[in-house]
């Protein structure tokens, strides 16, 4: 059966009554804002297993804002309240120095105030944490076991990205930090937070497992002529058992991107706007690495004003260079058991894109050196809506290197049209198209 591959890793829907709303923050007569940990569950699907239990916390540590760099005070509070406490951040804080928070164990962070990172580019580029993958850097990294961060819908994390975007416009080698890096978190949640103006990606979930992310708002807005670049909502990397749900994202790059070794992940109930889609990849960028993305379920999401709705992107079989931050190819691996189901599209350039020649404008080179990445067991189910006028009447493109590299690609119940209302066309090549129900395929 078609759904059999999904059932292998996605649990049955929970009862609707079991999903609790996120509690809102309240302010006492003394002016202190308080909030209890929200009782939010993965709904309607989880990643195939229940999230670990998180015991009640027994002590509180409130951090007073200093008017200067509050990084040291926040770090001290997390040490003091580690192993069973809650750190309360209910004021306006500034962080101007790097924070390694990967030591956490059984601790909550209640953020009902605002955290703003300084835009001291000279300091950050000389001190930020570095990751080998795609030259990623971060202000801080958070990890450990049984950690819950929650904001009750009022907590804010501000990346002060304007200066970074303007500098990047004149210096494409600038390594801009990611706003929120979860590195080595095993069991926990991130909920009810407003994230604004990241210099680069908003979130990287790396080397982590069993994490629920819910009720997040992401917004990016440039006040100048320079457009914010590479502001992905979430990127997962070497992580398993992640749920991202019930969030609103207004950004300028991938809404969610499944990077190498992302497995057993559910994305559900997102409203994405202005992005590059919910994307598998890019993959196969590095010659000496074997990339896997497997068991991904993208359910009941909407995408508006984007380059793509659903997207799978892998590099060709030879190293290529397009820009300082966009070069690579020749890596191997596979993409398997990916399902996009119930997907509303509005004004997206492509409703669906499958691309085995990512990062390379020379299509002849891709034909000579086909991708080393295989793509198989892919399901696009129940899509509806409209594309933009950019490619009208073409509404999607599915182009593979060869039938050996792309197998069992399926589409059912697809009702997508261009703004002209003309009969929709699909660019399809390099694989067996018999699984594309009702597609009118053209070569280019």
pLDDT for 321 equals 64
Query: Please, which residues have CB within 8 angstroms of residue 57's CB and are 6 or more apart in sequence?
Result: 37, 81, 84, 85, 86, 106, 107, 108
Q: Is the pTM of this model over 0.85?
A: yes
Report the catalytic residues.
Answer: 276
Cα Rg of the chain (Å, integer): 22
Rounded Cα distance, 438 and 420, in Å: 19
pLDDT for 28 equals 42
Rounded Cα distance, 397 and 375, in Å: 15
Rounded Cα distance, 391 and 283, in Å: 26
pLDDT for 202 equals 98
4-442 topology per CATH: Pectate Lyase C-like (2.160.20)
pLDDT for 21 equals 46
Rounded Cα distance, 79 and 399, in Å: 52
pLDDT for 323 equals 54
pLDDT for 160 equals 98
pLDDT for 23 equals 52
Q: What is the dihedral of CA 80, 98, 139, 132, to 10 degrees?
A: -110
Query: Please, which residues have CB within 8 angstroms of residue 56's CB and are 6 or more apart in sequence?
Result: none
Contact yes or no for 136/179 (Cβ under 8 A): no
**Predicted confidence pLDDT, tens digits, the chain (444 residues):** 334 444 444 443 333 333 444 455 544 444 455 689 999 999 999 999 999 999 999 999 999 999 999 999 999 999 999 999 999 999 999 999 999 999 999 999 999 999 999 999 999 999 999 998 888 999 999 999 999 999 999 999 999 999 999 999 999 999 999 999 999 999 999 999 999 999 999 999 999 999 999 999 999 999 999 999 999 999 999 999 999 999 999 999 999 999 999 999 999 999 999 999 999 999 999 998 999 999 999 999 999 999 999 999 998 887 776 655 567 788 999 999 999 999 999 999 999 999 988 876 666 677 777 888 999 999 999 999 999 999 999 999 999 988 999 999 999 999 999 999 999 999 999 999 999 999 999 988
Taking CA 198 as the corner, what is the angle to CA 354 and CA 61, rounded to the nearest 5 degrees?
Answer: 125
Contact yes or no for 255/233 (Cβ under 8 A): yes
Q: How far is CA 54 from each of CA 175, 228, 389, rounded to the nearest angstrom? A: 36, 37, 49
Contact yes or no for 396/354 (Cβ under 8 A): no
Q: Alpha helices of 131-185 — where are they, by DSSP H?
A: 162-170
């Amino acid at each position: 059966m078609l759904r059999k591959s999904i059932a292998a890793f996605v649990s049955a829907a929970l009862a609707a009554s079991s999903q609790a709303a996120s509690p809102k923050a309240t302010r006492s007569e003394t002016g202190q804002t308080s909030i209890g940990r929200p009782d939010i569950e993965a709904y309607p699907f989880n990643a195939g297993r229940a999230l670990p239990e998180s015991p009640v916390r027994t002590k509180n540590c409130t951090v007073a804002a200093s008017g200067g760099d509050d990084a040291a005070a926040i770090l001290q509070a997390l040490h003091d309240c580690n192993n069973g406490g809650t750190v309360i951040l209910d004021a306006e804080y500034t962080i101007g120095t790097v924070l390694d928070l990967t030591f956490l164990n059984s601790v909550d962070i209640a953020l009902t105030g605002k955290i703003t990172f300084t835009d001291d580019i000279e300091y950050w580029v000389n001190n930020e944490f570095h990751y080998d993958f795609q030259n990623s850097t971060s202000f801080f990294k958070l990890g450990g076991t049984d950690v819950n961060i929650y904001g009750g819908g009022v907590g804010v994390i501000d990346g002060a990205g304007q200066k970074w975007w303007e500098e990047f416009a004149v210096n494409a080698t600038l390594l801009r930090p990611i706003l929120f890096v979860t590195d080595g978190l095993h069991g926990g949640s991130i909920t009810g937070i407003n994230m604004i103006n990241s210099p680069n990606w908003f979130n990287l979930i790396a080397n982590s497992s069993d994490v629920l992310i819910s009720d997040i708002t992401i917004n990016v807005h440039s006040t100048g002529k320079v457009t914010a670049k590479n502001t992905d909502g979430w990127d997962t990397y070497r992580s398993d058992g992640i749920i991202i749900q019930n969030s609103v994202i207004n950004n300028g790059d991938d809404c969610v991107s499944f990077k190498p070794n992302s497995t057993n992940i559910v994305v559900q109930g997102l409203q994405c706007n202005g992005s590059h889609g919910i994307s598998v990849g890019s993959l196969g960028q590095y010659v000496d690495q074997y990339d896997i993305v497997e068991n991904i379920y993208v359910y009941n999401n909407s995408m508006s004003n984007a380059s793509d709705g659903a997207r799978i992107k892998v590099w060709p079989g030879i190293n290529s260079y397009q820009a300082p931050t966009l070069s690579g190819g020749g890596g191997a691996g596979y993409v398997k058991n990916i399902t996009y189901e119930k997907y509303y599209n509005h004004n997206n350039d492509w409703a669906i894109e499958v691309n085995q020649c990512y990062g390379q404008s020379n299509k002849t080179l891709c034909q000579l050196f086909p991708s080393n990445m295989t793509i198989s067991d892919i399901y696009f189910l129940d899509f509806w809506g409209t594309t933009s006028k950019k490619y009208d009447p073409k509404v999607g493109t599915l182009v593979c290197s060869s039938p050996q590299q792309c197998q069992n690609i399926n589409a059912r119940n697809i009702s997508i049209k261009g703004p002209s209302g003309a009969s929709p066309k699909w660019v399809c090549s390099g694989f067996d198209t018999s699984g594309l129900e009702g597609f009118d395929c053209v070569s280019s």
